[in-house]
Structure 1
Amino acid sequence: MIEIIQGLPENVVAVTVSGILTGEDYDRVLVPAIEDKAQKYGKIRLLYQLSEDFEGFTDDAMLEDARFGIRHITEFEKIAVVSDVEWIINAVKVFKLVIPGSVRTYRNKDLSEAKAWISE
């Protein structure tokens, strides 16, 4: 499940993911939010939190994430990934080398720090 996090600047899409993330979650929540902000602001910022009760991705969610990321890669000015899942953190560290914007990783205990950075 994906839920929008409120209270951040208008050019920021902030979400928290819990339970099992599905492709439908992307299509219903994340994709429209990002496309709307990208249309309004051109460059946007993304705060993507995998909450402590995150359980994983379905195959279609992983595919949708890859496809969407490739199509919109140049629209991200900053990306903050917040997670306690080691393989997610390590994957982000690898992929940030090919993402044109700034990318940082944070632990769930540092969510407020991630919010501050993405808002700067």
Structure 2
Amino acid sequence: MIEVLQDMPAGVTGIRVSGRISGDDLRAFQPTMEQLGNAGEIRIVEVIAADYAGFGPGGLAADLKLGFGTLLQHHSAFKRVAVVSDKEWVKHTLHALAWMVPGELAIFGLDELDQAKHWAAQ
């Protein structure tokens, strides 16, 4: 499941992923990504919930299509991406792939959500 978080600072989009992410979940989220890309600056706080279990049917393909499409179209708009997770594999993966993320990237623990929001808004 992908949900947009409402309690974010101005100019920051909050996203929470949980459970298994399907292609349908990502297609339903696409209009939000399009709005985000058209906003000028992209500042994201992505919370990866403790029960996040990866991709379900069609999820990975839809994620790559949506993610790379947004990245290629709006590369220079990315300012800050804060990833909030206690999953060690997420942290290791992001450290390895950080060079691919435009703008600044920071990783926070689930107990540091307020700090992540503040950092993304700066």
Q: Is TM (by shorter chain) over 0.5?
A: yes
Please tell me whether the aligned partners of residues 33 and 70 of structure 2 are also in contact (alpha carbons under 8 angstroms): no
> Could you say what secondary structure the match of 2:13 adopts?
strand
Q: Percent identity?
A: 30
TM-score by length of 2: 0.85
* Deviation (angstroms), 1:52: 1.6
In the TM superposition, 1:96-115 aligns within 5 A as 96-115=98-117
Task: Tell me the equivalent position of 1:83.
Answer: 85
* Shift >6 Å, 4+ stretches: none
Number of aligned positions between the proteins: 118
Task: Tell me the equivalent position of 2:54.
Answer: 56
* Deviation (angstroms), 1:16: 0.8
Q: Deviations over 1:11-57 (max 9, x none)?
A: 3221111111112111112x211211221x22211111111222222
Task: Tell me the equivalent position of 2:95.
Answer: 93
1:70 counterpart letter in structure 2: F
Task: Tell me the equivalent position of 1:32.
Answer: 31
* Deviation (angstroms), 1:59: 5.3
1:118 corresponds to 2:109: no
TM-score by length of 1: 0.86
The structure carrying a bigger strand percent of its residues is: 1
The CA distance in 2 between the partners of 1:97 and 1:59, in whole Å, is 28
Structure 2 regions of 5+ residues with no counterpart? none
1:70 corresponds to 2:72: no
